Structure formats: structure tokens, C-alpha cells
Amino acid sequence: MSNKDYPAITAAIGMAFFFGFSFIFTRSALEHIEPIHFLGFRFLLACLVINLLRFLGIIKINIPFRRWREIILLAIFQPVLYFICETIGIQMTSASEGGMMVALIPIFTVTMAAIFLKERPSVPQVISICISVFGVLIIGYMQATQEIGRNFIGLLILLGAPISGGAFSNLSRFYSRSFKPIELTYIMMNVGAIFFFGVSFLMHIFRGQIDQFLLPLGEPIVIGAIFYLAIFSSILAFFLVNFALSRLPASQVSAFPSLTTLIAVTSGVVILGENLYWFHFLGAILIISGVWGTNFFTPRHITAPSRS
């Protein structure tokens, strides 16, 4: 790990923090609004904000519309497929099973990076990633309140989330050779808004509930959650992860989402007054050790991709 890696590592840590605190806002908002409806408002606001930033000249987007199709696959995997699999899968299983499945993202990321990007991590790095994943699995398993694996179809759908997450990480790493992180983020927010807001709107039409479409916005909790998730957990967080992937190997960045679990648990204890148990401490030690090892043992021959 060299000094030039520190900005990207800082970005990856920031991403983990933004995603970690998102669980509190999501948990509170979903008591008043359906998941797809909530995702629709979240990405619509993110789309409006990022386009406003472009209009004001604060960010520069230089992607001809004809080149959108080159990176549209990135947005299909994340946010579209990832959130579909995670949302439907958790509804059919449990949040604990969802957390454990999402913990598999580093495994898929490292495997895909080795196959498609020829980024082969060192043996100590692989061990470190496994340690971090194991820490997440311990927390998820011990928090489980339902019988694990009782809905096989739900687990299969959930499996689509880590596969989509791994594919996104590698595609972002690949496309960073030609596109800036903010440009990738821009496409993701626009595609997310078109898909989720469109699906939510059509669902209300087919149910004959179009008059209730804006009703959840009357809840301050929902408004606050949409604002946080759109600005901080969508635009900023995805920009940070795209930036990190433009500078660091996908296998190295894949360790940082494990911190999301640690931050989510910590924020739940501090802010929501949830209980803290021995397995939280054990999981935290394993997660932090794994993230440190993944960065410390990164092979020196892997460099940042050049942008054409």
C-alpha cells in the first residue's frame, strides 16, 4: 500500500459510512412506504440533483448519448438488479439472511476480477477477505430470528444481489479506463430513476391507487430518508466507490463493504438503542482485521487503469 492509494482508500471508507447509516433511514421509512415506491423517490431525487449539478456546471459530464449504451450494463447490475434481488429476496426470507448473502459480494468480486480483469490477489489478501466476510456472517447468523434457509427460492433470488454487486465492481473498474467516476455515477442515477420510479408509477396505476402515489411524502421520516439516501447513499456513496475502483483493484475495494455491516450495527446501538452482544465485538474485530489485511497485502503489480 503506497501513499497514492490513500485518497482511494479514504473514498472507500467514506462509502462504507454512507451505506452503513442508510439502514437506519431505510428501516424507519419502510414503515410508511413500500420498498419499490421508496426506491423510486430515492433515485428520482438523486437524478434531479445530479442533473442540477450538471446544469449549474458544478460537475462535468462529457458522455455523448450514443456512448450511454457502452456502460448501460453497469447501471443494470447496480442499482437495478442489485436492489431488485435484495428487496424481493429479503421479503421472501429475512433481513439476516439478506445480510449474510450480501456478505458474499467480495467472493464474487475477487473471482470475477481474476477471470475478467486478470487481477489476481495474493494468498494473504484472499485470506484477509475471507476473514472479513466471516466476521459479517457471524453477526448476521447470530442476529437471525427466523429459521435459516426455509425459503429456497428467496435465497436464490437473494444470491442475485452479491452476483450483481460483484459484476458492478468489476464493470466499474473496467469502465474507469474510459470514463470518469462522476460520469459512471451520473448514468447510474439516471437509469435508477427511470426504472424504479417508472415501475412504482405503473404499479400504482394498475392497482388503481394513483391518487395515493404522493401520500407517503406527507411523512417527515420518509422525506428525511429519501433525502439522505438520494444525496449521501446514492450520489456521494456511488461516486466514492466508482472513484475507489478507478484507483484500486476490485479485490481490494471489495473488502470495504464489510465495514458497512459494522457501521450499521454500531449506529443501531448508538442511535436506535439496540442491544450489543459479544458476537458484535468478535465480528467487528474480524471485519477490521480483514479490511486491514486486504489493503496491506495488495499486490504491487496491480495499477490503476489508464483512461483513454
Name the percent of the chain in helix, strand, coil, to the closest 5: 80, 0, 20
Cell numbers linked to 174: 473496467
Residue 34's Cβ-count burial label (10 Å; 0-12, 13-18, 19+) is middle
Question: Would you state the pLDDT for residue 220?
Answer: 94
Closest CA to 20 of 293, 270, 289: 270
C-beta of residue 283 within 8 angstroms of C-beta of residue 138: yes
Q: Please give the angle made by the CA atoms of 90, 73 and 157, to the nearest 5 degrees.
A: 20
C-beta of residue 249 within 8 angstroms of C-beta of residue 169: no
Those residues with Cβ within 8 angstroms of residue 223's Cβ, 6 or more apart along the chain or in another chain: 217
Distance between CA atoms of residues 155 and 289, nearest Å: 28
Cell numbers linked to 54: 450538471
Distance between CA atoms of residues 272 and 105, nearest Å: 27
Residue corresponding to grid cell 419499490: 36
Distance between CA atoms of residues 132 and 106, nearest Å: 9
Closest CA to 188 of 27, 50, 17, 26: 50
Question: Would you state the pLDDT for residue 308?
Answer: 47
pLDDT tens series, the chain, 308 aa = 556 678 999 999 999 889 888 878 887 888 899 989 999 999 999 999 999 999 999 999 988 877 888 889 999 999 999 999 888 877 776 555 666 677 778 888 888 988 888 888 888 888 888 888 888 777 777 765 444 455 678 778 888 888 999 999 999 999 998 899 999 999 999 999 999 999 999 999 999 999 999 999 999 999 999 999 999 999 999 999 999 999 998 888 888 877 877 787 777 777 767 677 777 788 878 878 888 887 777 665 555 554 54
